[in-house]
Structure 1
Amino acid sequence: IKDFGAFVEIEEGLNGLLHISEMAWAYVKNPSELVSEGEVLKLRVLEIEPEKKKISLGLKQLLTNPWEDVKKKYPIDSVVEGKITQVTSYGANVELEAGVSGTVHLSEIDWEYVERPSAVFKKYMVLPLKVLKIDEDAHLIFLSRKRTLPNPWEDIDKFYKIDSIVKGKVIRVRDFGAFVKLDKGIEGFVPVSEIDWERIKHPSEKLKKDKEYEFKVIKIDKEKLQLTLSKKRLMPDPWLEIKKKYAVGTLVEGKVVNLTDFGAFVNLEENIDGLVPLSEIS
């Protein structure tokens, strides 16, 4: 018996290999769990390769294949009970029965953002899960924990309105914006363009992780489960004053800060640049 399987004497001078993957429909950690030296087994010949002097044998082929009626036992959208067998960085592997496994992706753990699956799942935990998809070729069932929980987005219109002001805590800051935890298990997103009227290089200049801020709700998409927020729209729009200060026809002075093929950018005051098109330079 080896880690990868067991060698079986078929008759004197003729041996075959029973690979660990052919021992049972369920996951087998070590061949010694199922077979022992000296044991007489009834096996099926799977393949003969004379040139390699190799005979492949199977034990599970003589057992009932649990995947034969898996769609009847685990219909799509049904809620089933599963046991966590492994917690990974991307989710968790689940055993529904011997030989039938499933997986819960990180995005299907909870309606709220989950950074580490281990914060929710523990090995050997038994819990209800919803069947999302069955891949018979890969022998894998895709499952969801969050869809067995109340969906906070169903009543989103009751709690959040366009142009309403909400308070939330920044939980993640990325180059393109910041994610904000709101009440009722809802997460909002602040695009970098909605953080401040001034140009910023990175959202972390204005928004700090774990700090609370007020935001304005500017868009709600129930289908995509997206709630877009703005911080800058709670502040006066400086461009309203700029339009008055730099009316069309006004003569102004500025410093050239960037030259391009299509013209020159001129700084008029802090955070205010103007463009002189190439056709207007001379």
Structure 2
Amino acid sequence: FGIEAFLPGSQIDVKPIRDYDIYVDKTMEFKVVKINQEFRNVVVSHKALIEAELEAQKQIIMSKLEKGQILEGTVKNITSYGVFVDLGGVDGLIHITDLSWGRVSHPEEIVALDQKIQVVILDFDDQKKRIALGLKQLTPHPWEALDQSLKVGDTVKGRVVVMADYGAFVEIAAGVEGLIHVSEMSWSQHLRSAQEFMKVGDEVEAVVLTLDREERKMSLGIKQLTPDPWETIETRYPVGARCSARVRNFTNFGVFVEIEEGIDGLIHISDLSWTKKVKHPGEFTQVGADIEVVVLDIDKDNRRLSLGHKQLEENPWNGFEAQFPVDSIHEGTITELTEKGAVVSLGENIEGFCPSRQLVKEDGTTPKAGDKLSFKILEFSKATKRVTLSHLRTYDDARREAVAAEKAEKRAAADATKSTVKKINASVEKTTLGDIAGLAALKSALEAAEKNNK
């Protein structure tokens, strides 16, 4: 009648149309679904004519469906989450997880549009007209086909299919995966990310650590392909051996170091230096630095080494003991002042402590940091590396000694006088009053004694 109508692409058929050109010049029946007189617009549909017929077909098909039934269908549409299959008038969905026993990134890896495939009915809902289909269920589960001779300790090859911080999933056969935990990737005990060792798509070789066919679980390891460094620890790093290590981290009580991958040790804070009083390991070294160590003890069961750094040198305190005996006086420099006293450097490798009451100068003032003074050794302990000093005693002892010497001198003079008088008295008893010469001698002796006492 000279009237043109518009046919939307979605109204051509019940299934998606990918090539509209095939319908050009084709005569078909249409149902008028919309007329707009004002804009002189007519909309028609071919799909509306066949939907009623298809609905009847769906009822028939749905009534004949059974779980486990195998049907042939045509791939109608592919989405990221699954595949829609035309079963001859009714659609079913194969979820991506039901396409293959293996991992599938996208359904296009398995099927293509318009491909005819066999599917199995997993479930359906009459009211919602939903049909769940499966493709992988048409083949045996890969775990059932897994080589029965495979056992713990065997070496397998596979491809990394999934990565996580805690490990990697490796597919050793289609649908059969094993987990390599990050702790099984290296003999090192330091926590690391699995991504440091491998990535998706890598072909790897691993050892079967656990195998549970009933639960369909398997754990793998790659560090087992190399010798355990602790098996020969006594011969490679015996007690007394010297080696280089890398500082890994600190604690308040020491430094954890790694001699080589998988072999860690601890340098206790007391084994860092013979002479320096280290309050925290961070004062002595830093993370990532190399440090020379000596093996002190081996704990093979707990995979720990006790290490020392100061043992690389002879204990200087053996020499200090003879160099700094108690009561000896040495010059020292005040390096630090505290509430309790001063830290004093007596040389390049030895320090002492002078309590506040022993720090007073002879003029009554208190010295400051950087001052050089004389100090007397009050206490020296090689075991505790403790040296107690006194500046006060360097001048106070001398003053006391002078006073004591003066008192001793006077006491000696007095004692001498008493002795002389005693002797004279004894001599007088033997003389008579008429012995003028004796009396004269007595008088002279008394005068001399009195003069000496003055």
Q: Which amino acid aligns with 1:141?
A: M
Query: Quick one: which of 148, 159, 172 aligns to 2:248?
Result: 172
Alignment of 1:244-259 (within 5 A): 255=340
Q: 2:263 corresponds to which residue? A: 187
Which consecutive residues of structure 2, in runs of 5 or more, have no partner in the other structure?
1-77, 327-338, 341-352, 356-383, 386-454
RMSD: 3.8
Alignment of 1:70-149 (within 5 A): 70=146, 72-86=148-162, 88-112=164-188, 115=192, 117-121=194-198, 123-134=200-211, 139-149=216-226
How far residue 35 of structure 1 moved from its aligned partner, in angstroms, is 1.8
Query: Quick one: which of 279, 283, 292 aligns to 1:200?
Result: 279
Q: Is the 8 A contact 1:20 1:31 kept in 2?
A: yes
For these two proteins, the number of residue pairs brought into alignment is 246
How far residue 46 of structure 1 moved from its aligned partner, in angstroms, is 1.9
Q: Is the 8 A contact 2:246 2:259 kept in 1?
A: no
CA deviation digits over 1:12-45, x for unaligned, max 9? 2x43221100111111111112122333322222
Q: 2:291 corresponds to which residue? A: 213
Q: 2:114 corresponds to which residue? A: 38
Query: Quick one: which of 230, 233, 237 aligns to 1:156?
Result: 233
Query: Quick one: which of 7, 14, 17 aligns to 2:93?
Result: 17
Compared CA separation, residues 208 and 138, structure 1 to 2 (3 A): farther
Q: Which amino acid aligns with 1:172?
A: R
**Residue 87 of structure 2: SS of its match in structure 1?**
strand
Give the distance between the partners of 1:237 and 1:46, measured in 2 at CA.
83
Compared CA separation, residues 169 and 210, structure 1 to 2 (3 A): farther
Which structure has the higher relative contact order (CA within 8 Å, separation 6+)?
Answer: 1
Give the distance between the partners of 1:178 and 1:88, measured in 2 at CA.
31
How far residue 109 of structure 1 moved from its aligned partner, in angstroms, is 1.9
Q: Is the 8 A contact 2:244 2:293 kept in 1?
A: yes
How far residue 147 of structure 1 moved from its aligned partner, in angstroms, is 0.5
Q: Is the 8 A contact 1:165 1:214 kept in 2?
A: no
Q: 1:251 corresponds to which residue? A: none
Greater mean alpha carbon deviation, residues 125-134 or residues 189-198: 189-198
Q: 2:137 corresponds to which residue? A: 61
- Pick the structure with more helix per residue: 2
Compared CA separation, residues 31 and 124, structure 1 to 2 (3 A): closer
Q: Which amino acid aligns with 2:116?
A: V
- Pick the structure with more strand per residue: 1
How far residue 212 of structure 1 moved from its aligned partner, in angstroms, is 2.5
Give the distance between the partners of 2:238 and 2:139, measured in 1 at CA.
58
Q: Is the 8 A contact 2:245 2:293 kept in 1?
A: no
Give the distance between the partners of 1:49 and 1:226, measured in 2 at CA.
63
Q: Which amino acid aligns with 1:200?
A: K
Q: 1:2 corresponds to which residue? A: 79
Q: 2:418 corresponds to which residue? A: none
Compared CA separation, residues 65 and 172, structure 1 to 2 (3 A): same
Compared CA separation, residues 105 and 165, structure 1 to 2 (3 A): same
How far residue 58 of structure 1 moved from its aligned partner, in angstroms, is 1.2
Compared CA separation, residues 195 and 52, structure 1 to 2 (3 A): farther
* Mapped pair 1:222 → 2:222: no
Which consecutive residues of structure 1, in runs of 5 or more, have no partner in the other structure?
246-253, 256-266, 273-282
Whichever of the two has the greater Rg, that structure is 2
Compared CA separation, residues 44 and 78, structure 1 to 2 (3 A): same
Matched-pair identity in %: 29
Give the distance between the partners of 2:285 and 2:128, measured in 1 at CA.
66
Q: Which amino acid aligns with 1:98?
A: A
Q: 2:411 corresponds to which residue? A: none
**Residue 233 of structure 2: SS of its match in structure 1?**
helix
What is the TM-score with the length of structure 2 in the denominator?
A: 0.46
